[in-house]
A and B are shown apart, each in its own frame.
Chain A
Amino acid sequence: MDNIIRELRFSLRDPVVALTLLVGVLLSAFTVFSGLKEVDTERAQIERVKQMVDDDRTYALADQSDAGGAAYYAFHFTYAPPSDLAFAARGVRDDLPWKHRIRMLALEGQIYETDAGNPELSRIGKFDFAFFAAFLLPLLMILLLHDLKAAEVRNNRWAFLSATGGDGGRLLLSRAVLRAILLFACIITPFLAGVIVSTASLMSAVVVCAVIGLNLAFWLVLSLFTTSRIQSGPTAAALLLGAWFTLTVALPVGGKLMVEQSVPVPMGGEILLTQREAVNDAWDLPREATLKPFYERHPEWANAEPVSEGFDWYWYYAFQQVGDQTVESMSEALRDGVAERDKAMAMIALTSPPLLVDRVMSQLAMTDIAAFQSYDQCVRDFHAALRAFHYPMLFGGKEYSAEAMKELPTFRPCASNS
């Protein structure tokens, strides 16, 4: 215990160590604070937009006299609320949409009409706790450890230290471990404060602490291995920075490029365009060309309505659905491709501890690709429920009434997104 206290005092008096720890705690606190603020903003945004869309729908439905108009003018707000741990890991939440304004028209176009905002900004990504803990933390570790032995040798202290302490190697090992523990404490303390404020689950917090601890342990071992063989501090730092660059930049970026090359997926914009063209073209096509594929999918409504010459809502909604059917395979290919790419990136992450940490944290925070796809499915299910509600009035002759509209489905976030 005396040894720990001695080394603790010693390390905290060292200006380089003290400054590095201060930078660590400040960056950690900043990322946690900005993450909590971002989550608060999103929650407030959800409440505000949800209220606005609900009011708008109520107002629009009050004027409607038929099922087609009611389905056309009734907008619904769909969203994936941020999880309690989303403050720590933004994941793909800044790149991919987590909220939509949906109505009974063709769905695919609405899904890919993303509201992610400035794409350049989203490409840079947010400076979140996961990014800091996974990718930047190793730099602080390298700063603390690269010169640990070299400084003693350079200052003609190594033999003196070893002769006085008995075993210089053991002393430096304990010093390195203590510095790693101090850094860990500096990073984790603001995070745990964030966990308390956000009421995130204790289990998730424990797992986050464990993966960050493992990340630190990896860099501790790598630094000790390198500095035990390299006598020069700058050379050891250069080697460790090379390892950092390889593991945090070259491998993830190279891996991503390789995965994108080997698993081609259709673009969302391409799907949007194809679906809109299919819907727009339908105006100029004979109705049978639209209704045939529609009735093949919905034989229960076949021959329910006579084919007339003028505008009919059922025809309008049939070609909306046929628009979706036209891009069904593309949409499926996109979803499967994204999932396959994600699976491939998970394999690549096994070779890069920082990437692995980032992925695990995004998974726990439900801000990863799987959570995004789950939300996407949630929106599709809701839209399917809307069609199931409206189609009997549009195709089956069920009478439209304000009373019937009280049963209109309302969106509830799926369990996997909340």
Chain B
Amino acid sequence: MTEIALKADSLSVSRGRVPVLSDITFDVSVGEVFALLGGNGAGKSTTLLTFLGFLPPRSGSVTVLNKPVTQNVEFVRQKSAYLPEAANLYPHLNARENIKYFLSLAKVPRSASDIEAALDEVSLATEARGRRLSSYSKGMRQKVAISLAILRQAPVLFLDEPTSGLDPVAIDEFNQLITKLSAAGTTVLMVTHDVYGACQIAGRVGLLKAGSLVGVFEAPEGGQISPEEVHRAFAEGA
């Protein structure tokens, strides 16, 4: 039997008085990549923030590694790495200093060579690593955040539009990296607009529309989900 790492059960969430998620249910197995697709305001980021314990469920529940998030926020954050869209790390620190700072916050000690290896993995130019992030492009900053997520070696990865700002080569490298991490047992919940990217790496794709999960597409054995099919469902509202 497949072990469940993440589970949303009849989850409804409101932001203020506005209902954002309505009765959504899905789960993600250990080592699986699950992508949530949807338009603006569909509730993708809200789902991630609920799994991270930033937003309380109005009804239903979310669990991470079999622990209810509401009662185990610190545990959840310790066991997961979060990569926000356009992560603006500290502009007055360079790449290495930013990584060291956040690793220290997460209480995850890593050697200098580990850090260099992670930066190599995201192809951040060596000469840029000692420069302050204020001189970085959006894509370069995102690469630093990705390398931080790699270094965390957390069993769960929450990715919010992770390829936003990356060039096509970097997107391809990122997708390969996620596939590699997934193969090593890391569970990934990713929200994105990028239908083709999601279909390339995800084992399943969920389609969110106006706060409801309107469809789930599963990759065939040894193959990929058809982006055309997802795109059509997306356009038709499933």
CA distance A166 to B78 in the complex (A): 7
In the complex, which residues of chain B have a beta carbon less than 8 angstroms from the beta carbon of A289? none
Known: A15-B92, A156-B88. A166 touches B101 (CB 8 A): no
Query: How many residues on the B side are at the interface (Cβ–Cβ under 8 A)?
Result: 30
When C-beta atoms are compared, the residue in chain B nearest to A10 turns out to be B101
Residues of B within 8 A of A15 (CB): 92
Q: Does A159 contact B (CB under 8 A)?
A: yes
Q: In the complex, what residue of chain B is closest to A6 when comparing beta carbons? A: B104
Give bound CA distance, A160 to B152, whole Å. 13
**Which residues of B81-115 have CB atoms within 8 Å of chain A's CB atoms?**
81-90, 92-93, 97, 101-102, 104-106
A160 to chain B: which residues have CB within 8 Å? 82-84, 87, 145
- Complex CA gap A382/B74 in Å reads 74
Measured between beta carbons, the chain B residues less than 8 angstroms from A10 are 90, 93, 101
Does B80 have its Cβ within 8 Å of any Cβ on chain A? Answer: yes
Q: Does B54 contact A (CB under 8 A)?
A: yes
The docked-state distance in angstroms from the alpha carbon of A339 to that of B47 is: 67
A62 touches B (CB below 8 Å) = no
Main secondary structure of the interface of A (DSSP, over half): helix
Known: A6-B101, A13-B93, A171-B105. A156 touches B74 (CB 8 A): no
Cβ-closest chain A residue relative to B103: A164
User: Which chain A residues (298-345) contact chain B, with CB distance < 8 Å?
Assistant: none
Query: B31 → chain A, closest Cβ, in Å?
Result: 21
CA distance A157 to B87 in the complex (A): 7
Mask, B135-148, CB within 8 Å of A = 1, is 00000000001001
Q: Within the assembled complex, what's the spacing in Å between the Cα atoms of A157 and B152? A: 17
In the bound complex, what is the Cα–Cα distance between A187 and B74 (angstroms)?
37
- Tell me if A296 is interfacial: C-beta within 8 Å of chain B: no
B36 at the interface (CB under 8 A from A): no
* Of the residues A156, A166, A167, contact of B85 by C-beta under 8 Å: A156
B-chain residues with CB within 8 Å of residue A3 when the two chains form the complex: 104
Given A2-B104, A6-B104, A163-B77 contact (CB < 8 Å): yes
Chosen A-B contacts, 19 in total, with CB atoms closer than 8 Å, are: A3-B104, A6-B101, A6-B104, A6-B105, A10-B93, A13-B92, A13-B97, A156-B84, A156-B86, A156-B87, A156-B88, A157-B88, A157-B89, A157-B90, A159-B49, A159-B84, A160-B84, A163-B54, A164-B106
Give 6 new A-B contacts, CB below 8 A, not counting A6-B105, A159-B54, A164-B102.
A156-B87, A163-B77, A164-B106, A164-B152, A165-B102, A166-B78
**Which B residues fall within an 8 A CB radius of A?**
49, 52, 54, 73-74, 77-78, 80-90, 92-93, 97, 101-102, 104-106, 145, 148, 152, 158
**Residues on A facing B (Cβ under 8 Å):** 2-3, 6, 10, 13-15, 155-157, 159-167, 171
